A and B are shown apart, each in its own frame.
Chain A
Amino acid sequence: MEQRIRVLVGKVGLDGHDRGAKVIAQALRDAGMEVIYTGLRQTPAQIVEAALQEDVQVIGISILSGAHGYLLPKITELLAQEGAEDILVIAGGVIPHEDKEALEAAGIKGIFSPGTPTTDIVAFIREAVYPS
C-alpha cells in the first residue's frame, strides 16, 4: 500500500492571510494526507527546516503579499542546498499569470490561482507523488 502523503502547508514572509492555507490544509487532511501547518511569518529557511524535520514529500506555500517572486525561489534554492530537491513545491495565492513562468523555472511545480477547487490540488499532489 502507498504510504500516506506528508505535506507541509506554509505561510512565508509577512503575509497574514491564512484563510486559504487553512482551507487547503483541512482539505488535504480530509483527503487522507498528513498535514503540518507552519503558522504565519515563516522565513524560507524556517520552511525548509520544518520540511526536512517533518520529512514531508510536499511543501504547499500560500502567498498573497506579492512577495512570491523573491520568497518562493529562495525556498527551492535552500532545498537544493540541502540536497532535498525531490520535495515537491507548489504554491497558491494572488500570483499574476505573467509571473508563473519564472516561478516554474525556479522549480515551483504547481501554481494555483484563486478559485481552484481543492480537489484539483489533491489530484495534482497525488499524481506528482505517486504517478499513475
Chain B
Amino acid sequence: MDEKARELSEKREAWEKKFFSGLVKERQAVFQTDSEIPVERLYSPLDLEGFDYPASLGFPGNYPFTRGVQPNMYRGRFWTMRQYAGFGTAEETNKRFKYLLEQGQTGLSVAFDLVTQIGYNSDHPMAQGEVGKVGVAIDSLEDMETLLDGLPLDQVSTSMTINAPAAILLAMYAAVAEKQGVDLTLLSGTIQNDILKEYMARGTYIFPPAPSMRLITDTFQYCSEHLPNWNTISISGYHIREAGSTAVQEVAFTLADGIAYVQAAMDVGLKVDDFAPRLSFFFGAHSNFFEEVAKYRVARRIWAKIMRERFQAENPRSWMLRFHTQTAGCTLTAQQPEANIMRVAFQALSAVLGGTQSLHTNAWDEALALPTEDSALLALRTQQVIAYEIGVTDTVDPLAGSYYIEKLTNDLEQGVWAYLDKIEELGGAVKAIEQGFQQKEIQASAYRYQMDIERQDKIIVGVNKFQKDETPPQGLLKVNPRVEEEQIRKLANLYAKRDQKKVEASLKGLQAAAQGTENVMPHILEAVKVYATLGEISDALREVFGEYKQERAF
C-alpha cells in the first residue's frame, strides 16, 4: 500500500469510528445483491486496490470489451427495439408486427406457440388446447409466407425464439426471402437455437443432446457459407434466470453453454473465426439495478478472455459478446400490476447502462395474459423515453469508474469463474446438465428467493407489503379460440393440394443425411419448399435421432 492509500485508509477508519462506532441500527443487518454478494455501506478507491484500467476495462470496442462492443455505443445508433410478439394465427401476428413497426419498433421478434416449438403440427393430439396460445402457430411454409407478408426481409432484422426445430424455421424464413427475391446474404436476424438451456430451464427440447448439438453445428456451418449476416444462435441466460437462478449463475451457466457450442463446432472441424463472430447472447434484466449493470459488463469481459485465450480466436469480432436483453418476466406481479410499468423501466435502464445491443421491454399485464396492443405500445414507449429523453445514451458506459460498480463487476467475475471451473470439473456443460448440476443449483436459488419473499427479507411492492384490495384488470388479450380449427383446416387443404411424392422424397433425403454426417440444412430447405410441414420434418428427424426424456430432477 502506498503512502496515499495508507492515508486514505486511516481516514476511512476514522470516518467509520466517528459515525458507526456505537450501536447503529440500519434498515437491515445485512445488505446483499440477488447473488448474495455483500453490499458494503460505502465504496471508495480502497475497494479497487491494484485496479488495472487497461486490463480490466480498456476502451470500448477493444478487448476485453468491458465498456462495450462498439467504440461509440449509442452515440452511433440506439439498440434495436425488438418487442417479442406472436399469438393466434399468422395473419393476426403479421398485423401486430406491422403495428409495432409503424410505432417505431426497429426489429422483429417472433414468439411461436409451444406446438411449433416442440415440432408438432396443429393437428397433433398433444397440440389440443395449445395452438396459438403463447405465440403464433406455424405449421408450414404457407403460414410463414402469411406471417412475413409485406415485410421487407432485406431491411428488417428478425429474431426467432425457436430452439429444437430452429433449423426448420430458419429454412422457412430463407424460403420466404427467396420468394420475395431477397438475396440470402442480405438476411439479418437471429435464431435462438440454444438447446442446452432447454434441458436446463425452458423445456422445449425434442431430441437428445448429441443430435441436437449436431443440428446446431450444421446451422453454424450452413450460415457461415450462405447467410453471413445471420446470428446462428442466441446463447440464453434469460430462461435460466427466469427459472430462478442468481445473476452469477445466469452468466456462468450461459457462458458454459457457449463454451460447449464453440467446442462442438471446432470438434466437427469448423474454424473458430468462421463461426464465432455470429454467436450472440441473451440475458434477463432484473430488479437489483447495479448488479444487473455489472453483470453485462462482466459477461463481456469473461467471454472475450475465453474466446481469445482458450479458443485462440484471432478475429476481434469472435471475442465480442453481443447480446439481447429482455426485462424479467418473473418479476412482474399480478397484484397492482400497473407498478410493473416502473419495474420494467428500471430494468430496461440497467440493460442500456450495461450496453445491450437489443432490448425487449415487457408489458405491464404479462403476469396475467399476453399483452394487448395498448400495453405492448406502452412497453415500446418506455424504451423510446430511455433512448431519447434522459441523456443516458450520450456517453459510453457512464457508470464505469464508480467504485461500487467496478467492485461489483470484480466480485461477480470471481463468482462466475468459480462456477465455470466447477462445470469444467464435471466434464463441461452437457455432462453437468446430464448430472442435473445446473438444474439443482437453479432450483435451490428459486426456492431461496421465494422463502426470502415469504419471510419478508425481500419486499415486493403490492405482493408482501403495501397490498390493497383490488378488482382484477379488465380487457386482457384473449386468443381467438378458433385458431386451432383454422390451423387444422389449413393443414387439411395443404395435404390435399401439395405434391405428396415430392414431400416424401424430400423427407427420405433428409433422413439419409441425418443418418450420416452430411449437413442437414439443404435437405430441410428442400423439404420446406415442397411444403413438408414442421411436424413431418420433425418426425422424420425423431425417427433418426430419437427423443429426449427428462430426468425428474426433484
Contacts and interface: CB of A to CB of B under 8 A. Distances in A.
Interface string B126-140: 111110011000000
A118 to B, nearest CB: 7
Name the interface size band of chain A. Answer: 35 or more
A67 B129 contact: yes
B554 A65 contact: no
A70 B130 CA distance: 9
A37 interface: yes
B202 A67 contact: no
Interface residues of B, number: 42
12 contacts: A13-B129, A14-B127, A14-B130, A16-B203, A19-B243, A26-B447, A38-B552, A65-B133, A66-B369, A67-B129, A114-B332, A117-B464
Contact of B115 (A14, A38, A119): A14
Secondary structure at the B interface, as helix, strand, loop or mixed, is: loop
A113 B244 CA distance: 18
B234 to A, nearest CB: 17
A89 B118 CA distance: 27
A18 interface: yes
B368 A94 contact: yes
Nearest to B333: A115
**Centre residue among B202, B332, B334, B370 by max chain A CB count within 10 A:** B334
A23 to B, nearest CB: 5
B368 A18 contact: no
B414 interface: no
A17 B133 contact: no
A98 to B, nearest CB: 7
Contacts of A25: 554
Interface string A36-60: 0111110100000000000000000
Contact of B450 (A27, A39, A74, A113): A27
Contacts of B368: 94, 96-97
A40 B205 CA distance: 11
A32 interface: no
Contacts of A37: 552, 554
A19 B367 contact: no
Given A115-B463, A117-B454, 7 more contacts: A13-B129, A39-B550, A70-B128, A74-B129, A96-B368, A96-B476, A117-B453
A19 B334 contact: no
Interface in A7-23: 13-19, 22-23
